[in-house]
Structure 1
Amino acid sequence: MSDDASFEEIKCQHCLLSFYRRKQTGRRPKYCSPQCRSAAFRTRSAEPTRPEFARETERIGQAVANRARMVAQSSSLPVRTWPLEPLRHSVALQRELDDFIAVAVREALARGADWEEIAAVTSISVSSLKSRFSRAKVNKAVHARRRRRPGRPAGTAAAVPRSVAGERPLEEDAQLWNAHDSLARALSHLHRSSGLSVRAIALDTGISPSYAYRLMAGERSPSWPTVQNFALACDNKPEELFDLWSAASGQPEVHPDVGYDQALSRFQGAIRGLHLAEARPDPATVASTLPDAARHEIPIVESLLTPKPATRAERLSWPATAALTSALHGSHERIRRHWRALRKAAPTPTILTQAFG
């Protein structure tokens, strides 16, 4: 070139080859030609395989199932003190479904579907689909969900394993969501059965009414003092909620050697917490429907589901306990730890020498 000082060298951001332009004011070009600019745009707009959308479809699918269960429960019970509860859960379910459709659209694109096929399934025009479910908008929605996801209360000692992306394993995440859902349903039933307004319970608990609503809708993860105060405000024993809260917080229940009374209290509290989350169905009905309970175990099951201390709970076999846990949609792993601790702490029966003559 005759005058190199008047030109500047620029590297094309697509083909990576150098090109020159005369030095001048204004924005420096990024590409050497319109063809490279168009090719770069096509590359940026390509549909990459995004495993995180596959993970989110599973996570949101679990949230949809949990919310649908809450809708079914709230609509099947006489709700005198909170008539808007079924509506609140239904609106939240619709929000979960909208998020699920968004990530499902992006996942379908990543797996080879085109916009026309998705339009045929959703009955939405291609232009509307591209606008509503652009990669940027869906990513934004996913990140917003992660910020809203109930977290572990401060001070939780249990370390939860994380995947490479920093997320909990899906199986464990589903367990936490199920436990969180159970705690929310238990708090909701306490409110319904108390006959008190949400404002009155919130005042006694030391939280705002809006926060109380979010706790009962499963949208917040409370601290243990909050759960305690909520239970006391509803005239209920806080220990019946401790195992639900512990599971929802991701804490593995560790049982050191404890006395019989404490082991019995923990075991019955865990069972009664599950019973509470299921809106306390009739104990006799629950006991009579257990397929693996022997005849002598049915009264024990009924006593576990009543406020008074259970009788001979250590005599309950694991098959009967497992059947009861399944009927109340609880975690076998957690209840089995309580059951083992109770069996270990149970006093050993003594046989008097007079019995031998």
Structure 2
Amino acid sequence: MRKNPTGRRPKYCSAQCRSAAFRVRSADSQEADFSREAERIGQAVATRARMVAQSSSLPVPSWPLEPLRHSVALKRELEDFIAVSVREALDRGARWQDIAAVTSMTVSQLQSQYSTVQVSKAVEARRGRRPRQPVVPAAEVAPKPAAAGDGPDGQSPPRWGGRDALARALSHLQRFSGQPVRAVAVQAGLSPSYVYRFTAGERHPSWATVRSFVLACDGDPDDLVDLWNAANGQERQTPPDAGFETVLARFQGAMRGLHLAQARPDPDILISALPKGHRHESAVIRSVLAPSPARQAGQLSWEATEALAEALHGDSDRIHRHWTALRAVAPRPSILTQAFG
């Protein structure tokens, strides 16, 4: 075979020589692709494994095949991940014999099943099966004017963001409601399959969908606003002239949303995580997590608030912004109140 640095069409001494050259070029071009695909497929494996865990724990009589469907999909993801991992291991200097010892396969089986050509075909086939990971519905990708009011603040939801806490909160809310998924879906005007998918984290619902779902579960939509904004990577702007009641509702809603996402653990367990010097604030924390307005929340210290947010696996920075806004407008306790508690 003659190298071709000038850009002219190469000439080969035989058909076998041309095939060998093609295999070399294919291997060179696929090395980086295998590395990138390993990362993509690894993320898909993690996502699908979470779906298996969630679907197996949700009482959904209408969808008895969902756990099986996710399990089969997880198996396929793992098979693809093993394939690209074999090629990546070879690229990094591993020998076929080493890989055979790990996989309990013979070298001949590995070379046949995980050749560059075979793995390249598997990677290409994945592209025809995508999206493997959840995707934003097309209607949410298209920009819409803020006046449409699709988001909690009258804004269009931005592109894809984190969604685990939101999915967990919606799933727990449906279970706490005591209603089956099909009944909630009918009341919310949604299809049961779509409800199941966004409560399992497989789909990303719009705010209008979340609000309808929460109301059908007899919940408070304000508790989900901050989780929905966080899932969309955006902030809920507080108007400069917002009063204490408005800011308090947003702070409490953010804390109750985190509480719901963790299946509403006993407040006493959360209080035990507080720094010892702030245990006296336990009564305020209980009121913050309660459904009624907690006016005393404006006096909650940041140390206690941060410990509570961390115990609920929340984003302390987001909660700090709510806490700061609340402290700025909270009425100051009078001297008489301070003296007699």
1: CA distance between counterparts of 2:164 and 2:20?
49
Q: In structure 2, what residue type is equivalent to 1:151? A: V
- Structure in which a larger fraction of residues adopt helix: 2
Q: Which residue of 1 aligns with 2:222?
A: 239
Q: In structure 1, what residue type is equivalent to 2:12? A: C
* 1:313-346 deviation line (CA, Å, top 9, x unaligned): 1222222111111111111121111111111121
- Check conservation: 1:242, 1:269, Cα contact below 8 A: yes
Q: Which residue of 2 aligns with 1:209?
A: 192
Q: Are 2:219 and 1:230 equivalent residues in the alignment?
A: no
Bigger drift between 41-50 and 193-202 goes to: 41-50
SS at match of 1:237: coil
Q: Are 2:16 and 1:32 equivalent residues in the alignment?
A: no
Q: Are 2:280 and 1:280 equivalent residues in the alignment?
A: no
* 1:96-148 deviation line (CA, Å, top 9, x unaligned): 65554455444434433344433332334402334996023225436755564
Flag the 1:139–1:328 CA change in 2: closer, same or farther, 3 A.
farther
2: CA distance between counterparts of 1:13 and 1:211?
58
Q: Which residue of 2 aligns with 1:22?
A: none
Aligned residues between the structures: 312
- Check conservation: 1:194, 1:235, Cα contact below 8 A: yes
- Check conservation: 1:81, 1:196, Cα contact below 8 A: no
Shift of 1:66: 5.1
2: CA distance between counterparts of 1:293 and 1:138?
56
Q: Which residue of 2 aligns with 1:5?
A: none
Q: Which residue of 2 aligns with 1:182?
A: 165
Q: Which residue of 2 aligns with 1:341?
A: 325
Q: Which residue of 1 aligns with 2:248?
A: 264
Flag the 1:287–1:268 CA change in 2: closer, same or farther, 3 A.
same
- Check conservation: 2:48, 2:70, Cα contact below 8 A: no
1:192 to 163, 170, 175: 175
- Check conservation: 2:274, 2:304, Cα contact below 8 A: yes
Bigger drift between 213-222 and 102-111 goes to: 102-111
- Check conservation: 1:14, 1:36, Cα contact below 8 A: no
1:135 to 116, 120, 143: 120
Aligned-residue sequence identity (percent) comes to: 44
Structure 2 residues not aligned, in runs of 5+: 145-154
1:75-90 map, 5 Å: 75=57, 87=67
2: CA distance between counterparts of 1:32 and 1:286?
73
Q: Are 2:4 and 1:15 equivalent residues in the alignment?
A: yes
1: CA distance between counterparts of 2:128 and 2:277?
47
SS at match of 2:251: helix
Q: Which residue of 1 aligns with 2:273?
A: 289
TM-score (norm 1): 0.73
Shift of 1:303: 1.2
2: CA distance between counterparts of 1:98 and 1:306?
47
Q: Are 2:210 and 1:221 equivalent residues in the alignment?
A: no
Flag the 1:40–1:65 CA change in 2: closer, same or farther, 3 A.
closer
2: CA distance between counterparts of 1:158 and 1:208?
21
SS at match of 2:32: coil
Shift of 1:65: 7.6
SS at match of 1:220: coil
1: CA distance between counterparts of 2:122 and 2:259?
41
Flag the 1:330–1:52 CA change in 2: closer, same or farther, 3 A.
same
2: CA distance between counterparts of 1:132 and 1:270?
51
1: CA distance between counterparts of 2:124 and 2:275?
47
RMSD of aligned Cα (Å): 3.7
- Check conservation: 2:166, 2:224, Cα contact below 8 A: yes
2: CA distance between counterparts of 1:89 and 1:183?
23
Q: Are 2:107 and 1:118 equivalent residues in the alignment?
A: no
SS at match of 1:312: helix
Q: In structure 1, what residue type is equivalent to 2:104? A: S
Structure 1 residues not aligned, in runs of 5+: 1-11, 20-28, 161-172
Please say which structure displays the higher CA radius of gyration: 1
